[in-house]
Structure 1
């Protein structure tokens, strides 16, 4: 799955095993994927397909059995703790549960300022950057003295996105960032991510179980099934007319508000099944 001649992120034949050597489970089976600068690549699959494991491997949160992860020309597959800390300015993450990823004992201002002060920024510079990030995610500056519990799920996700952006990363791993939100809030968060990408040039690896969600934001899509990528291609093509039976099943499972469009989609899916039979 090639993004560009010089991709920002290149994952090559990655293998990840869980458990002891005897009876271990192979979560990733020689997975390869690339993300170009300023690009959003979707990684789609059901729970247990390996998509979140791939995101964790890129972030250095799970050990890699074999293969390579190359970021901006640098092999980070087995980067040391110090190297990983240095990479925090370039690679960030937005998790599925914004409340679980935000320290409930800290104010929003402290949550956003912490990565900056830990990197050596002065208090005045940190405050200025926090104000800028809140403005980017369309939250008023007055929220700096409030706590995560005082916000809705969508607002908390905006705070989590702002925290991911404060050090101006080049890549954000978005691990199911809208799956815990209702459909209306999902749409506003996706619109926000699109706007931020246009403004900053940041790249996304967008992990989701929903082909309908990735259709709105991803340039290219890779579909994962049992630890392997079974289909890749242009986002529009994969999310509207997938070729692999598993991808077709995912498309049928994605929610859609219009009953007429749902019926059309099911009819098209049945035709594909008849041709394959």
Structure 2
């Protein structure tokens, strides 16, 4: 547990539908994120990892439990309270092109949240110029539109938009999964640099243990809506204890073709063992 948590999720249950016939997506989930810490949430599709991020952002129905942010209960924050939180909690999505308005240039995309917060034109201009520099884009990017950039550059724009109001926490929902391995590495390095320089905290959602190994201080592994392993990032991503975490590790890609082939063979062997073992074994 973090000594100084900015975010605490306690016994969270998320359920869609009616109370007695609803479909439960999260089962009694608890975790915390410290100030300046990156906590990874890893699992296959359908594990509930993205739903956890949505619940923190107020986009999923919480049935039980609570979400504490900076000492405040935000479990059911709505309306003005949720809008106020936008300055402190931001999100970076998987698809940067889908999350950026194609009709707005980069300058307008970054200035919109600052103008909504009532900042002066001069303050807005300075903040935009600084953020463009921080995410390693040329100053000329301000006047260009999202379709003029590569996927990696668009994700840098999305990161700049998330950071421009200097939030305390960013929910990163598969932020590099749509990028090739080389671009992934560059964007992860950018996340690490920004965290070091600004002190922002991350909840980093991913399906790839190899990705979170590079950036996350602690890692929670989710399966079927539950956290099955949560601990030090190095330990969980290199020598996991839970069998499901081991399967995720073997499924994560590596650059060496021979090592990848060995991982694939071991993963297939585990899957075969799952099929022949009696239920509950």
Is TM > 0.5 for Structure 1 vs Structure 2?
yes
Question: Cα offset for 1:157?
Answer: 0.1
**RMSD between aligned residues:** 1.9
Partners of 1:136 and 1:63 in 2: CA distance: 35
Q: TM-score, normalised by structure 1?
A: 0.94
Partner of 1:19: 17
Partner of 2:211: 213
Question: Cα offset for 1:266?
Answer: 6.5
Partner of 1:42: 40
Question: Cα offset for 1:243?
Answer: 1.1
> Is 1:132 aligned to 2:130, yes or no?
yes
> Is 1:94 aligned to 2:92, yes or no?
yes
Partners of 2:264 and 2:207 in 1: CA distance: 19
Question: Cα offset for 1:19?
Answer: 2.4
Deviation per CA, 1:54-91: give whole Å up to 9, x if none: 00000111121010000011000011311111111111
The 3-state SS of whatever aligns with 1:78 is: coil
Partner of 1:165: 163
Partner of 1:33: 31
The 3-state SS of whatever aligns with 1:38 is: coil
Deviation per CA, 1:161-211: give whole Å up to 9, x if none: 000000001100000000000000000000000000000010000000000
Partner of 1:183: 181
> Is 1:255 aligned to 2:253, yes or no?
yes
The 3-state SS of whatever aligns with 2:25 is: strand
Question: 5+ unaligned residues in a row in structure 1: which ranges?
Answer: none
Partners of 2:47 and 2:70 in 1: CA distance: 27
The 3-state SS of whatever aligns with 1:130 is: helix
The 3-state SS of whatever aligns with 2:5 is: coil
Question: Cα offset for 1:147?
Answer: 0.7
Partner of 1:70: 68
Quickly say closer, same or farther: Cα 1:141–1:266, change in 2 above 3 A. same
The 3-state SS of whatever aligns with 2:219 is: strand
Once the two structures are overlaid, the 10-residue window that deviates more, 116-125 or 207-216, is 116-125
> Is 1:227 aligned to 2:225, yes or no?
yes
The 3-state SS of whatever aligns with 1:65 is: strand
Question: Cα offset for 1:127?
Answer: 1.0
The 3-state SS of whatever aligns with 2:40 is: strand
Partner of 1:194: 192
Partner of 1:246: 244
